[in-house]
Each structure stands twice: as C-alpha cells, then as structure tokens.
Structure 1
C-alpha cells in the first residue's frame, strides 16, 4: 500500500473509532472536573505525552495545568496527581475509593488464569491474598529467615564481580548485568528454595511482562470498541505470552514438588511450599493453582525489577559523587572490617548507607507513576470532582523532586536525611517510592533487604573507578521507561579488589 493510501486508511480508521467511542461522557455533567490540556479528537490527550518519558511529560503538564489534571487517553479518563497534598487525599483521605486497580484489556489477558496481588481489583480475593502476604509470605519474620539466602547470593555476587574484573574487556565490569543476576537469583532462591538453572529465560519473561503491562493497546484506550479489540496486537501478544508463562511456571512447580519428595526431611520451607501448604489445608478455596502461579510470578517480578533498578542507580550516583562514595565506603568498612566480611545483622548500624538508598529512591523512584488506581466512586480531591471509573496516576517521581517539598531536589544529597525524618513507608506523601495506603507494596522489606546487603558488599570488597576518559559528571543517567524507570544503558565500571573474597 502506498503512502497516500496508508494516510487515508489511517484517517478512515480514526474516524471509525471516533464514531464508536462514547465521548459525550454525560455522566460527568455537573461535576467540577480538574483542569485539562487541550485535546484532539479520538486520541484525546495522548499527543501531550508522546516523545518523552511519561513521568517527565506529566510533570511538565502539571506545572502548567495544576497538581491535579484530567487527561483522556482515547476514551479513558486519566487523573494525574503531582503534589504531596493531592497524593495524601488519594492514598489516605479517600484511600478506599481509590484502592482498586483498572482492568484494561491487556491486564485482563495477563491475569485471566489467576490473579495475584499487584494488579488485582480491590475486594475479597485481594484481601485474602494480602493477609497471606502479611502473615506468611512477606512477614518480618519470614524476611529475617531468608537471611542465609541473601548472604549466600551476595557472596556469589562478590565472586562474580572479582572474576569479571580480572578477565577481558579491559577489566571493566557490567554492573547492571551483575546486580540484575544477583537480584534474580536471590528472589528465585527465596521463593523456590534453590537457584534457577535457566535464569536467562526467567529474566526474559520479566522483561516481556514489564513491556506488556506498561504499554497501551487500542483495546485499552477504546474499551467500548470491538474493532479496537480486534486490531489490538498487544492483547493478542499478551495472550500468547500468558500461555507460555504459565507453562514455564508449571514446570517450576512440578520440578519443585518432585525434588521435595525425594529430599524429604532435608527441606527448608520456601515460599512455594508456603502457598502449597495453605492450599492443602483446604480452608482457602480461592487459592487455586492458577492463583498460586500468578502469586509466584508476582513475587518474582516485583522482587527483581525494583531492587535491580535501585542498585544500578545507587552505583551510578555514587560514581557521579566521589565524596559520597568515600563516606559510604568508610562507614561500611569501619563497621565490618573486624569481621572481614559483611554480615546482615550489622546493616542496621549503618546510617549513611541507608541515607544513600533513601536518596536513590527519592531521586530515581523505581516506579515513577506507581501502579495505576481506579476511582470506585466520585469524590473530591483538592476541591475537584474525580469521576467514577477514572484511572488515577500518582506521579511519585515528580513529587519526590518538588522544590516546594525538597531543598535542591535535583541534587543527589544523602546528607539531607540527617535532619529530614521523612521515611519511605507510606507515612510521608512527599516520598512514596513504594506507594501508600491499602495498596502499598507488600514486598518493601524483602526488596530493601536485598538492596542493602548487595550495596554494602560492593562497597566493602571493591574500590570502584570509571572507564578511562570518563569524568564523574559524564556518567550517563538517561532513563528508559517500563513499569520502572531503568537506566537506558548498562553501567560499566572498573572494580579493584581490596579484600580477600568471602568464604
């Protein structure tokens, strides 16, 4: 088809979609809706967020239209929250009204064989799973019990860095690749009781899930149009992916069960065992095998992507700020040199390292827009009416860089937390990297434990330097966008071993 024909076909398709969408939104008449930027027919506000990362585009728009904006992505109304005050109203004052997740066509496809935690609508199913997470899977006691797993995998990380730095590629280490492997191995080891042989396949599943869940299809933008659904390649791709994923998880659970039967009496309960035990007790009929597989993948994906992203940004910022690196290393080595190794029970005594991690999460919020919410009943936020059914995005990244909340917000300054007592546990709405309210991330403690131990080990055993010819202020900090705001390029550094390898 030639270019003019493609153009006219595109116009005809848009006109047809426009005729099928329900743009009048009569149910919103009489409401005081948040301000909106100008919109185009059919696509609504989408042109305002094209060409740049969404969290950055939405911050730019909020500076012009306000801390509460109403956009339209196709026929879907989207309310964007860009201030701590508005975030407080959404995630505390009206938390129950905003506690559910929107069920787009893509999400429904990805979760049709079993709903887990992160993307599940608010209701009895979600409450039961949340209770299992709080009491069994991700409790403080469970996270502490996984300490040997974390320490074993952190020791492997140190060895892997040492081996890589001693061979090939001008002795440069791909830190991004190393920490991604460490986090994946740690999560899998904790969930399955062992390392996964085909780790690369698992990481590919994680990447594909993120791409599918974070993208927008025609069916997502025009849910009332059967034509949009028929033309949505992303939904069809999600269907194929979901089938392959559950086959992959089937193989994991089958192998896990068979291995346990052969090693009976020598088996320490892991997170898959916990889920199977609860299912076998018969009191949780909602915990089907499909749901168990969905929960396992939720734990695996959430437990890897955020922690790996945070570790990469932490190392990048330490290389950009040599004084911060020196202070962090001095603290870690001062604390653990008598032991000649990093031990997890000593991490609680480190102050500056925790400031470094908090500042990394503030400046590089892993999930910049958090996970979307949906308004279940019309309610007021900042004096405006948020209509029932609207998707709500909290721009936590923009709020964490708001000059009205933070001094020199674009600067990496861990020292700010010496006097600033704001925490990241959902109590201070200027700083919510894990969300807040009912839908706060249940795996926060699990993820932070992985980050703290790995970063302490990297700083304890190695001196780090940049590739030849690169100055600290030239370290690339370009983002790539999925559900998390990753580094766009891998971080390559030179690692010099300064202590004996851990035993």
Structure 2
C-alpha cells in the first residue's frame, strides 16, 4: 500500500498537468484536415506563378478545363481560387457574397488609389458603402448619366465628321485609336468639365495609359513579400511612384481650376463640381476626390473603347450580321442623319449585337480580383480567409452548359431571352454582380451604344485592299482591359452621301 501511495503521489503533479489537455482534446476534437479544391502541381516558393504567362484569363481557362471550374492555385504565398462556371459565380457573388466581397491589398492598387480611397479597389466595409451611395445618388445615377448626353452627341458627331474625310479619299481609319480618343474625351468632359485633347500641359493621355498599365503590372511584394526588394532594384517601384506623382499633379491642377473663384461655371455640373459640392456632407478630403476621379477615368476609358472595337471586328468578319444590324438602324432612323440616344431603345437587333459582343469579349475578362473576408466553404471545399479570388467572365461567357456554340458570334441567341448583363444572370457577367458590380455600367453601355450605332448608320465598312476577313488577328493584349492586339483598320464608305440621303426602308 505504501508503494502504491508513493507512486501515485509522485505522478500526481504530472497527471494534473495532463488532465486539462485531455479535457481540451475531448471538448475540441482534432481538426479535420483542410480539403482544397483541385490544383495543378506547384513549385517551391513560386507555386503556380510560372504557369500564368501574359494572358492569365486564357491560362486559367485552359487549366480549368483540366482541373475543374473551381481551381486552387498558389501564386507565390497567396492562396488563390479561380471560378469558371456560372453556378460557382452565383455562389461567390450572390449566395456567399459577403464572404467573397473584399479586395486584395496589392501594391499598385494602394498607391494609385490613394491608400484604397477609390471605390473599385477599396476593401469592403462602411467606407465602401458610403462611397457607393455617392456614386449611385450623385456621380453616376441614371439621371446624371443622361445629363451628359449632349457631350456624347457632340463628340460622336466630331468623330463621324473625321471619318467622313477619310471616306472621301477611301483611306483606312484606325478605329482602335479613334475609339480610345472618343471615350477618353467624353469622360474628361463629363468628369473635369473640358477636353484635355492633345495634353499640352499634362500629357493627359500618356499619364493615364501608364497608370492603367501599372494596375495590371506584376510586383514581387504582392506575391512573395520577402522578394519585394526586387521591385525596388528593378525600378518598378520608382515607375509606380512617378506615375502616381504625374497623375496627382494633374488632379491637383483640375481641382484648383474648379476652386478658382474667377472660374466661369458651366450650366451643367461636371463630376468634380459634384464632389466639391458634397465634400463637407460626406467628409471628403482632396485625396478622396482625386481617388474617386481616378476610378471613373481608369475604369471608363479603356472598357468602352475596347468593346466598340471588338464589336466592329466581329461584324466585319460576319457580313450577314453587319448587313442585318445596319438595315435595322437605317430603317428606323431614316434620313435624319444621325442616331440619337432616344433612338437606342427601338434598335432591338442592335441591342442583341451589343450583348453578344459583351459575352464573347468582356472588356475585363478576368473581373477585378476579390478576396475572402473570412473562413468559409465553397462547393464542399475549405476556403481560408484572405484567399485571392479570380472570376473568369470570359470562360463563363463560353460555358457550353449555358451557351450553344459559344465560340460563334451569333446575336440571335439573345432573341426573346431574359438574360441580361445587369448582374442577375450569372452566365453573363461582363460587369460583375453582387456588392461589387461595376458602378459605371450604365455610363459605359450608353457610350458604347451611341458610338457603335452611329458608326454603323453613317458608313458601310470594308477591309483594306488585299486583306481578307481570315487575316484579322483576334488576339488580345495583356491587361485588366483587353484590347485587340493589332489596331482595327477599316475603310469607311459614306453611306448617307452615297445614297443621296435615301436610306433603307
């Protein structure tokens, strides 16, 4: 008995230490192993970065055909999901939108958005909701967008006049260049109150082209933080800083002009006027105003131009569709000489052409990346907080389960179809959906429609001499917005003058 008591008392302190651990293991059973979605093989340190190449949307699309519509990658140290189906897009942007509505804190996003003050790149929270209200109620409400109709009409008329001069000599026009000029000028007049065409003082277009490129640029600090010093040595950080300073100087100039007490105010408020007017009520600093303007210009210029160019590219490759949409426009407009915005609602087949262009060529084929806000599950898999999430709108728009012959440009597929791009139909999401749907969707679409409709109404179009439709390069350039790689050169034939004012009946 004495031996037993000695042994027990000797082990008693150890048992008292172990007992709480045993109780914890009983109350909190061993954590189940994490179940990741299917993934391509990964390399040490870089993970799957080596597989991306210049065109991540195409790479992701091809990989998803092998590994499935929910694919897990590791981009350096970042856990990453790629969504390539409408079902999963619905889960991410509707059913579990709150779990997937954040934004990654990328280096270029932070710098160029004034430390995430811009709406598109700011993390989700109270600030995002407040800024969204300003956009919806003040900056880009339907009423406000309509008020800029005179700007769109004026700039489109000038573009048509410029093309007419080329038509008189049968000279090819560079539609890529023309559309970039048109959309940037429309936005600069709407946002800043005047056109900065030519950029005499600010090299306006160069400043924004560089900023747009940097939003899509690779920074080691984003993916492999301990290699962030390479961004400094390579000059990438200096390039980012210069771009920011150039852009900041331009915005300060614009705001100072608007605050000048001797400035002659225009009858129509521009977007800088609006932001200055609501500044006190919403506690906006000058940096807030500059950040919000940056988002409007960066997001609005490239996307509209790219969409019109892709539409004209598809139409020149499909003469039957070109003839059909031109016949409709000319029949309805008659000999009035131009298409006005009030006419657009009557152009049923034309609307189908625009939809089909957005399906086949979403301007941002890989939607602006999201980030998970917390631990969650998706399609039975475990998803960690701060996981980077890419939604491949291009792959979803070509999903065989949703679209018959998805690789064919066929506007008739939308005939009598309720499917639209406004965020309720997840097989068709060129502007995204949910809390993060594009706030400038209406502005962008009406700009595309009025420009495209007038190009089709005013001119017949031919390829340059010696070129066949099979020769058209359909590849795109890398970037958040995907432009056609080679400029679209077409020969305009002045339709109105060639028919002496007689149009299709």
Task: Output the TM-score relative to the length of structure 2.
Answer: 0.89
Q: Secondary structure at the match of 1:171?
A: coil
Q: Secondary structure at the match of 2:419?
A: coil
The equivalent residue for 2:175 is 175
After superposition, the C-alpha distances for 1:203-259 in whole angstroms (9 at most, x for unaligned) are 22232122211122111111355645654632332122111110011112223443x
- Confirm or deny: 8 A CA contact 1:172 1:493 kept in the other structure: yes
Match for 2:376 among 375, 379, 390? 379
Match for 1:43 among 25, 32, 46? 46
The reply on whether 1:243 has 2:240 as its aligned counterpart is no
The equivalent residue for 2:82 is 80
Task: Output the TM-score relative to the length of structure 1.
Answer: 0.89
Q: Which moved more, 1:112-121 or 1:153-162?
A: 112-121
After superposition, the C-alpha distances for 1:113-140 in whole angstroms (9 at most, x for unaligned) are 6621111111122111100000011111
Q: Secondary structure at the match of 1:136?
A: helix
The equivalent residue for 2:295 is 298
Q: What does 1:76-115 correspond to in 2, within 5 Å? A: 76-112=78-114, 115=117
The equivalent residue for 1:132 is 134
The equivalent residue for 1:346 is 343
Q: Secondary structure at the match of 1:454?
A: helix
The equivalent residue for 1:25 is none
Cα RMSD (Å)? 1.9
After superposition, the C-alpha distances for 1:77-125 in whole angstroms (9 at most, x for unaligned) are 1110011111111100111111111001232222236621111111122
> Structure 1 residues 384, 233: closer, same or farther in 2, change over 3 A?
farther
Displacement of 1:189: 1.2
After superposition, the C-alpha distances for 1:445-468 in whole angstroms (9 at most, x for unaligned) are 000010000011101111110011
Displacement of 1:32: 1.2
In 1, the alpha carbon distance for the partners of 2:227 and 2:479 equals: 26
In 2, the alpha carbon distance for the partners of 1:192 and 1:467 equals: 37
Q: What does 1:47-86 correspond to in 2, within 5 Å? A: 47-50=50-53, 53-86=55-88
- Confirm or deny: 8 A CA contact 2:208 2:247 kept in the other structure: no
Q: Which moved more, 1:106-115 or 1:66-75?
A: 106-115
Q: What does 1:294-443 correspond to in 2, within 5 Å? A: 294-443=291-440
In 1, the alpha carbon distance for the partners of 2:116 and 2:400 equals: 42
Q: Which moved more, 1:113-122 or 1:347-356?
A: 113-122
The equivalent residue for 1:24 is none
Extract unaligned runs of 5+ from structure 1: 1-27
Displacement of 1:270: 1.2
Q: Which has the larger radius of gyration?
A: 2
**How many residues align structurally?**
466
In 2, the alpha carbon distance for the partners of 1:423 and 1:41 equals: 43
In 2, the alpha carbon distance for the partners of 1:229 and 1:434 equals: 32
The equivalent residue for 1:196 is 196
- Confirm or deny: 8 A CA contact 1:222 1:228 kept in the other structure: no
Displacement of 1:197: 3.9
> Structure 1 residues 425, 199: closer, same or farther in 2, change over 3 A?
farther
The equivalent residue for 2:125 is 123
> Structure 1 residues 108, 414: closer, same or farther in 2, change over 3 A?
same
